[in-house]
Amino acid sequence: MALKKLAFFFVFAFGCVQVFSAETSDTRDSLLQRLNEAQADTQKVWLLNELAKISVHDYEEIHNWATRQFTLSQELNYTKGKFHALMNLSDAFYFSSQLDRMHNILSEMEQLLPHKELQTEQGIYLLLQSRYLKKTGEYEQAAQRLLEARDHFAKIGHLAREADAHNDLAILYSNLGQFDEALKSYKAALNIYKVSGDMKGESHVLSNMGIIAYYQDNPDTAEQYLLRALELQEVVQSVRTTASCKSSLGNLYIESGRFDEALQLFEENYQSFSGTRDTSNMALALLQSADAYIEKGDSRQALTLGKRALDLLEGTSDLAMIRNTYELMAGAYENLGEFANALNAQKQISAIDKKINAKEMAQKVIEIERRYQFERQQEEIATLTREKKLSELELERNSNALRARTYLIVSLFLLLIMAVGGGWFVRRQHQLREQKKAAELEHRALRAQMNPHFIFNALNSIQRIYLEGDIDTANEYIADFSTLMRNILDNSNKSTISLEKELETLKLYLELEKLRSRKMIEYTIDVDPEIDLLNTCVPPLIIQPFVENAIWHGILPKKQPGRIDIRVERKNNDIQCHITDDGLGMNPEDINKPTSKGISITEQRLGKKVDIRSSKESGTTVRFTLSTTT
């Protein structure tokens, strides 16, 4: 169970966000009171700036405060205020993945840079540019901007920002797998934090260095870094970072078989959160302990802790956490041979998945309204700007703005009706198909499901990256994960899709598995150039089950880097697929065992046998033929 050591990280992030939100609410109330009492307009500019910054990833809130900040700064002709307002708007568009608008904001910021008051801001602009370039995949240019920012802050003597640039460089190098370069940048940041007495920054960097040491198979060094980070965090007295560090240490101890030490750390986390009745994180600590017991071979004790976690979560809306609890319990029941209980746990997981899907559907309607509000705010900004510049056309301008808003409201209202009506129509059609073609729908349901272990571990990996401080990579991971899920959902009701779409979905899945396994997987996808990818149609998710088998049963158990080669070639009027891995391989008699249920289902979909050749020495090769349509 090597993957279990990362389990449940994301709930820590969730629990800590709850604590942070309470603190943020108090801060927000204080800032609003000060804003109402402020006399000087420039003071109001910076209070609005703080309100934008504490809005975290709520891009509508950021946009609201930043817009007011920019408007006031423009009235005062206050360049520094305008720059920081644009910086906050850049965050709003970044967090909402509106990269074209972020690019436009960066262009506006660049026009302000020659102003003599903006020395520090010149370096900040370079940091924001690197963030944009990383998001668009231009890593070399992003690294160049970070180096320029680092040198700029060093030149003007801004230690805190120089450390930030080093830290961002280290994260970028880590993402690219250049751990030696990452360590150099982390050490540079660490020296600056030590000189400036910033223990919080120092502990954060040490924690990240510990994670890199672990990636480089240096568990002793990783432990030293994490213990030192923990010492500093306990001085800083940050509940979030202390618990996160203990969690990392605990997982490290589980990996090395030091179960009692891991259990002690998880118990300390449990006691820490008991004082504030933080049930999500109390349940998390119990589940991490249960994970340690499973690794220790005591699945019975793991079940006891899982049931305690469920009691804590009873009556809460934390569906993801409850789902993870049943996921762990299902695994424990399987270990004990209690398959009926394991099946019941899986049924609970399926029921929770339906609730989550229902919430997502409702959230789509809410998102339409949010985006409408966001667009309306954008329109109001444009209206205010035009009023300042073209006062003689005020009446006509206001009329146009009102008409535009009216059209927008009507359009969005119609869109909402269409979305709701379309949703009802789709559900109705689904019910009719269910009555007429129950067997066919059961077949489609099996085809549409992605392995829940992959989804579970992908979400955990996202939260692990957040805890490591690499927000940009986490956001990119979330975007890729969302795209993969959307492709799967879109394709689940289709009997065939284009080969181009199938390979695109497969590549997304492989990239996510590659990141989650810490680059233990390399792969190639070779397609016969004579194949018309766009007009050649195949059943959806027909290749993925074999790739998943190669990863989970071939490469990962080997516990060393492996490779998967996928070749798609034309054979007469059909398509032949070859999936080859250099993993552990299988005995011939293992191919027909129950663990190969995915293979048998895929054979039913293909209507023909799949040729599997495997050995312990050469790995496994899977070959099958697809009947295509055009």
Q: Please, what are the averages of pLDDT over each run of 10 residues along the chain (630 residues)?
A: 35 34 64 88 92 78 91 92 93 85 92 88 93 90 94 92 92 88 93 90 89 87 91 81 85 90 92 84 92 93 94 84 91 93 92 78 54 58 62 65 70 74 71 53 45 64 72 76 79 81 89 82 91 87 86 85 92 89 76 56 75 84 82
Interval 29-49: pLDDT, tens: 888 889 898 888 899 999 999
Alpha-carbon distance of 622 to 630, in angstroms, equals 25
- And the tokens for 154? 């060093």
Report the alpha-carbon distance of residue 483 to residue 607 in Å, rounded: 30
Cα–Cα distance for residue pair 131/99, rounded to 1 Å: 11
Distance CA 624, CA 575 (A): 9
Closest CA to 523 of 544, 499, 498: 544
Residue 474 has what pLDDT?
A: 74
Length of the chain equals 630
**359: exposed, middle or buried (C-beta count within 10 Å: 0-12, 13-18, 19+)?**
exposed
Contact 53, 72 (CB under 8 A): no
Identity of the amino acid at 304: T
User: For residue 532, what pLDDT is reported?
Assistant: 87
Give me the pLDDT at residue 216, please: 85
3-class secondary structure, 111: helix
How far apart CA 366 and CA 358 sit, in angstroms, is: 13
pLDDT score, position 370: 52
- Could you tell me which residues are beta bridge partners of residue 624? 577
Classify 452-626 by CATH class. Answer: alpha beta
CA separation, residue 183 to residues 215, 456, 462 (Å): 12, 30, 22
Give residues with Cβ within 8 angstroms of 358, minimum separation 6: none
Tell me, what DSSP letter sits at residue 99? H
pLDDT in tens, 144-199: 999 999 999 999 999 999 998 999 999 899 888 898 999 999 999 999 999 988 89
Instruction: Specify the DSSP class assigned to residue 583.
Output: S
Using alpha carbons, select from 60, 58, 61 the residue that is nearest to residue 48. 61
CA dist 516 and 554 (Å) reads 16
DSSP string covering 27-83, please?
HHHHHHHHHHH--SHHHHHHHHHHHHHTTTT-HHHHHHHHHHHHHHHHHHT-HHHHH
Distances (CA, A) of 459 to 1, 9, 330, 462: 17, 9, 18, 5
Task: Check if the beta carbon of residue 270 is closer than 8 Å to that of residue 312.
Answer: no
DSSP β-ladder status, 537-538 and 497-498: antiparallel
Encode 78-112: b = buried (16+ Cβ within 10 Å), e = exposed.
Answer: bbbbbbbbbbbbbbbbbbbeeeebbeebbeebeeb
Instruction: With beta carbons less than 8 A apart as the criterion, state whether 551 and 519 touch.
Output: no
CA distance 185 to 191: 10
Domain range annotation of the chain: 452-626
* Nearest alpha-carbon partner for 476 in 500, 520, 451, 511: 511
Residue type, 385: T
Percent of the chain with pLDDT over 70: 80
The amino acid present at 582, given as its one-letter code, is D
Q: Which of 556, 524, 541 is nearest to 606 (CA)?
A: 541
Q: Where are the beta strands (DSSP E) in 466-595?
A: 497-498, 521-527, 537-538, 562-571, 574-581
- Residue 263's pLDDT is 94
Identify how many contiguous H helices and E strands the chain contains and give both numbers.
24, 7
pLDDT the model gives residue 262? 92
Could you tell me the two tokens for 475?
Answer: 């956001």
In contact, 317 and 287? CB cutoff 8 Å = no
Task: Write the DSSP string, 523-558.
Answer: EEEEE-TTS-TTT-EE-TTSSHHHHHHIIIIIIGGG
Distance CA 184, CA 200 (A): 19
pLDDT score for 630: 63
451 secondary structure, DSSP code: P
Q: CA of 621: how far to CAs of 513, 547, 565, 577, 611, in Å?
A: 20, 11, 9, 10, 8
